[in-house]
Amino acid sequence: MQTPLTNIRHLSLPDIKEQLTTQGQQGFRAKQVYEWLWQKSARSFDDMTNLSKDLREWLKLHYEIKAVVVATKQISVDRTIKSGFKLHDNSVVEGVLIPSNSRMTACISSQVGCSLTCKFCATGRMERLRNIDFDEIYDQVAIIKQQCETDYDQPLTNIVYMGMGEPLLNYANVLKSIEKITSPEGLGMSPQRITVSTAGVAKMIKKLGDDGVKFNLALSLHAANDEKRNKIMPINETNSLEALAEALIYFYEKTETRPTYEFIVFKDFNDSLHDAEELYQFTKHVPCKVNIIEYNPIDDAEFEQTTPARLERFSRYLEGKGVIVNVRRSRGKDIDAACGQLANKVVS
């Protein structure tokens, strides 16, 4: 029976060096291999052109690169690109490149499916099959980075962990992927250009504070009273607004990073001035920003998009209270790539 190959990206640089020198290779070869894996995003050992053919063949005999591949690619009329990423076990997740005038943003997934069953989200209707490994998360970024450069001749500027899954329920892999993406030995991106979005796992928000993370945090809030939030986000039953406020205060004290609250406005559910006042009261816990997001309808959903007039009145009310508000217009709706729409619809 053949010995299973080792995933070389799960080895540290010292590990690779030790194993290569044991085989009589010079130590500097390990650094070359490591650079190919994390700086140059090599998809196979054959890509490592400054290594001898013999060494490449030896690497193939003992190791594997579980590279993510693009199974499907759709381009929206607004130039948004949605990719179906096939993982090594044939699972498929989706990622999105969102181009705008000032930035190129990669929206990536952290889990295959999701366990949180938020009522307004297509991904929440899927079963959570597994967490995505850190190297698979890294690959999503590397592929979208390449799409930026080849399709639009632009550099990737921002990354948001807002695709499929709850990032804080895959904590270790998410943080290790960010380490590879931000490291000078990896993609070298600034952590200030990365945002991790959570539906609200209070104890893990506190852990982010304990770990002193440098990236941004976004909380998918969508209602600022427990009764309404329980209805649309079952996670609120075990992570109440009071618990989240306490965790956010702790996070802010530890990191001095202002969280962003994401708030989708639904017609006749959370779009009144009373709802805006409740949101304003929640913003007083820590310095923050609020992203007002228009709802993207999904099949058989009970919610509708609010009217432009009510959305405008809602955001104006918050601004009048001194809250920093951005109204986010959805991108990629025609290819089901907008917020809350990722559900592998087009992948067989």
Question: What angle, 0 to 180 degrees and rounded to 10, lies between the N-to-C axes of helices 134-152 and 171-182?
Answer: 40
**What is 69-335's CATH topology?**
TIM Barrel (3.20.20)
Q: Contact, 158 vs 189, CB < 8 A?
A: no
pTM: 0.92
Tell me how far apart the alpha carbons of residues 293 and 156 are, in angstroms, rounded to a whole number: 23
Q: What is the pLDDT of residues 300-316, one digit of tens each?
A: 667 888 999 999 999 99
Q: What is the pLDDT of residues 177-222, one digit of tens each?
A: 999 999 999 999 999 999 999 999 999 999 999 999 999 999 999 9
Q: What is the pLDDT of residues 52-67, one digit of tens each?
A: 999 999 999 999 999 9
- CATH 3.20.20.70: which residues of the chain? 69-335
pLDDT band at 345 (very low <50, low <70, confident <90, very high): very low
- CATH 1.10.150.530: which residues of the chain? 6-64
Q: What is the CATH number of domain 6-64?
A: 1.10.150.530
Q: Residue 329 above 70 pLDDT?
A: yes
Residues that are catalytic:
94, 339
Q: Contact, 255 vs 210, CB < 8 A?
A: no
